[in-house]
Structure 1
Amino acid sequence: MTSDDERLARAALTHVVEPGDTHAGRWLARYGAMGFLDRLRADPAGAPEATPFPGTGEKRVDGWRRRAATVEPRRDLDAAERHGGRLVVPGDTEWPRQLDDLGEARPVGLWIRGPADLRTWALRSVAVVGARACTPYGAHMATTLASGLAEQGWVVVSGAAFGIDGAAHRGALAAQGATVAVLACGVDIPYPRGHAGLIGRIAEQGVVIGELPPGSHPTPSRFILRNRVIAALTRGTVVVEAEYRSGSLVTARAAARLGRHTMGVPGAVTSGLSAGVHELLRGEATLVTDAAEVIELVGDMGQLAPARRGPVLPRDLLGPDTVRVLEAMPAGRPTPLSTVSDRAGASTDDTLARLYELHSLGFVERQGDDWQLTNTPTEGGNLRRGGP
């Protein structure tokens, strides 16, 4: 169980160091949260160690020290509580242990809003990410995937951005399912502003998380660093529409490095919004088209997607000898039995038996002593050929 002092120190450090700072992660692992914070607050001239952070740039350390001198972690904890939030840190029962795979880039802690237990939800979660300026096709696919996953009891994780992220969250919520929004700002800051209502719904029905303390605003670098948390938290990442330069590809490649499943939904080859996804599919990603195919990869052994095949046509139900007689029938004219048997390579008696079978099924009709194909099409095309 995490002590109050450890929690307070980690709350302070979420204000002091930027998310994903591996230098800070190294000293945090070496000194512990309280020891790291004490060394930052100590007078450098009178510190027991001449250089407590060897190998870390002076400018970086100076920035840490300035922020450590002014941070008020109790105020941050109180602000989070006012918004129905809490701080979860390593050692808590709610801490998702898969985040430890990030090593020195592991979050110092996670600020959380929402009633659910994050660790339990994360054990059965999938990230659905993609382009902000998505197409209607992309939005449809993200919504359908997310609702399908939610209906099967999977938690949908995304970044609450416009486009694919928002569509994924809405799909899960529409299915009365579970969804997690990972923000690049404080959990009390609805960003983007246009998704204030959506983020509020997620906080009520799902979970909103972030590495930064209340009141923190996003920056471009924080969006990129946020993506490593999405990748590590989930069992796999699905990319729906992404250009060659896309934060979604950063998430997918981080997932691949962490040994998670990486998946992509194909799109039009003429669309720049699908170019990044197709590049993933040429490499480490697996092509998926629906929730069942995603679950086949990330789910338990034996959770296989249903077999895919086209419709069964009447011709598919015929035996091979009968098919051979059917294919021997020329189109558009009556044909003598002897001609059909010669073309089919069968005896006249056997050919006649097959023709009567085909007649009973509506494939052929008799014209005097001759036989010809019927003009009645089947579902999917001509009876004789099984297609147009």
Structure 2
Amino acid sequence: MTGGGPAVVREREAFALLSRLVEVPSGAMVAMIERFGAADVADMLCRRTFPPGFEELEAATGPRLEEVCGRGDPFERAAADLRHVSRLGGRLAIPGDDEWPAWALHPLARRSEQAGGHSDEWRELRPFALWVVGAGRLDELFDRAVSMVGTRAPSAYGEHVARQFAGDLVAEDYVVVSGGAFGVDAAAHRGALAAGGVTVAVLACGVDRPYPTAHAQLFKAITSAGAVVSEYPPGTVPGKHRFLNRNRLVACATRGVVVVEAGLRSGTRNTATWASRRSVPVCAVPGPVTTATSVTCHALIREGMAELVTSAGDVLERVGAAGELALIPEAPARPTDGLTPAQLHVHEAFPVRGEMMVADLARRAALSDGAVRSALPILELRGLVAPVGAAWKLVRGEREGGAVTPE
């Protein structure tokens, strides 16, 4: 929903204006909007009027009030932002819109352990508006989504795993969410797209200046069925604190987080911590113990923060809805599948090379001559053995190749 009468239009402009006035996340802003409505809040802030209990917004918005509200009509500035994003094929999604992902964002309103100790207080971390470019509806995209995160400099193994997992997840009708960065993020997005699936990139900057710029074509491909999403208004440049704030959305707005590869001081740890503290399942892919890019994955598993996964099936088992079955890998068929124990014993009694008489096979298999004679025609039909006069021999390659060698 992006249209409506004058009141609806002004409400959307108010949300656009407020996204310029405060750096997210802002629990005070969310609470004030829910109490007074965005239009009234925008009016109050531009008049520098702060109701009792919301005084903290004066310090939070002060540096921007003069810039945004002190030069002409601030609502016209907001309208210009909306027009600018609309020309990009985008929109501003706000609470009350049909597509607003209220359920997906609910974990960001839950009680959690806070930095510096434990707290029983509620810390409101939901976004109050989201800038979106893309064909997908936010509620549908985040309803069945899995986040994939990791280092910007993955190994060939990590990049392969990210692509493979993403492709397998979208094959099961999941949406892959990541941050659009180099490395694991890009591999996950591309893996989803290559498999004909849908993916979402959550940015730490404005949707009109996606970062990194080298991914401009990737972001364009993402918007064809998915979306590029940001809390930040048009023109916002990326910053370290914005990446950390962005991580909470990647971590908490999906059914689970998969950490593919991450080094010791990777920001990926921040994403995993957000998810763990908000009771969102965390999965980690193991790697070689000699590889620096697997250090965080192994640490998360060792500390009990993440569950070890080796396939998309393992991920689905962790994040799927009740009754939803995980992918079951198909084991390769063996020529000996379906043989009876006696037939297997006869087959295993053969040497790799050479011929054997029935009596010798019976002795080695600890079976009667009659049991051996009954088994040999079945093994011959399977192409496992062949007669040589009165004796029998193993067909070359079946045991040597390892296909039927007992494990």
TM-score range, shorter chain: 0.7 to 0.9
1:302 Cα shift?
A: 5.0
SS of the residue corresponding to residue 274 of structure 2 reads helix
Query: Which segment drifts farther, 131-140 or 223-232?
Result: 131-140
217, 221, 238: which one pairs with 1:218? 238
Shift of 1:296: 4.7
Alignment match, 1:168: 188
Aligned: 1:345 with 2:358: no
Alignment of 1:1-388 (within 5 A): 3-29=8-34, 32-34=37-39, 36-37=41-42, 40-42=45-47, 49=52, 52-53=53-54, 56=56, 61-71=58-68, 72-84=74-86, 85-97=90-102, 98-103=104-109, 104-282=124-302, 283-308=304-329, 310-329=331-350, 337-355=358-376, 357-358=378-379, 361-364=382-385, 371=391, 373-374=393-394, 376-378=396-398, 381=401, 385-386=405-406
Distance across 2 between alignment mates of 1:222 and 1:378 = 60
Question: CA deviation digits over 1:210-244, x for unaligned, max 9?
Answer: 11111111110110110111223222222221123
Number of matched pairs: 378
Cα drift, residue 291 of structure 1: 4.3
Contact 2:205 2:238 in 1 (8 A): yes
Change (3 A) 1:235 1:379: farther
Give the C-alpha shift of residue 382 in structure 1: 5.7
Checking the alignment, whether the CA contact within 8 Å between 1:89 and 1:108 is kept in structure 2 is yes
Aligned 8 A contact 1:244 1:276 in 2:
yes
* 1:355 Cα offset (Å): 4.3
Measured in 2, the distance between the counterparts of 1:41 and 1:223 equals 28
Distance between the aligned counterparts of 2:223 and 2:354, measured in 1? 72
Conserved 8 A contact 2:384-2:398: no
The TM-score with structure 2 as length reference comes to 0.79
Q: Which consecutive unaligned segments of at least 5 residues does structure 2 have?
A: 69-73, 110-123
CA offsets per residue over residues 260-285 of structure 1, 9 Å max, x none?
A: 33233333332111222233344243
- TM-score, reference length from structure 1: 0.82
Residue 376 and residue 17 in structure 1: after superposition, are their counterparts in 2 closer, same or farther (change >3 A)? same
- Give me the whole-angstrom Cα distance separating, in 2, the residues matched to 1:48 and 1:257: 32
Separation in 2, partners of 1:360, 1:152? 40
Contact 2:342 2:371 in 1 (8 A): no
Deviation at 1:132, TM superposition (A): 1.0
**2:148 and 2:257 in contact (8 A); partners too:** yes
SS of 2:396 mapped into structure 1: coil
SS of equivalent residue, structure 1 residue 62 = helix
Amino acid at match of 1:91: G
CA contact (8 A) 2:141 2:226 kept: no
Distance 1:75 1:314, change over 3 A: same
> How big is the shift at 1:207?
1.6
- Aligned partners of 2:132, 2:174: CA distance in 1, in Å? 20
Q: Would the alpha carbon gap of residues 91 and 326 (structure 1) be closer, same or farther in structure 2, given more than 3 Å must change?
A: same
Query: Retained in 1: the 8 A contact 2:352–2:396?
Result: no
Q: How far apart are the structure 1 equivalents of 2:19 and 2:404? A: 72
C-alpha distance in 2 between matches for 1:202 and 1:9: 28
Change (3 A) 1:187 1:372: same
- Give the AA of the match of 2:12: R
SS across alignment from 1:68 = helix
Inter-partner Cα distance in structure 2 for 1:379 and 1:319: 18
Say whether the 8 Å CA contact 1:182–1:210 is kept in structure 2. yes
3-state SS, counterpart of residue 86 of structure 1 = strand
CA distance in 1, matches of 2:154, 2:340: 49
Asked if the contact 2:358/2:373 (under 8 Å) is kept, the reply is yes
What amino acid is aligned across from residue 207 of structure 1 in structure 2?
A
Query: Which sections of structure 1, spanning at least 5 residues, go unmatched?
Result: none
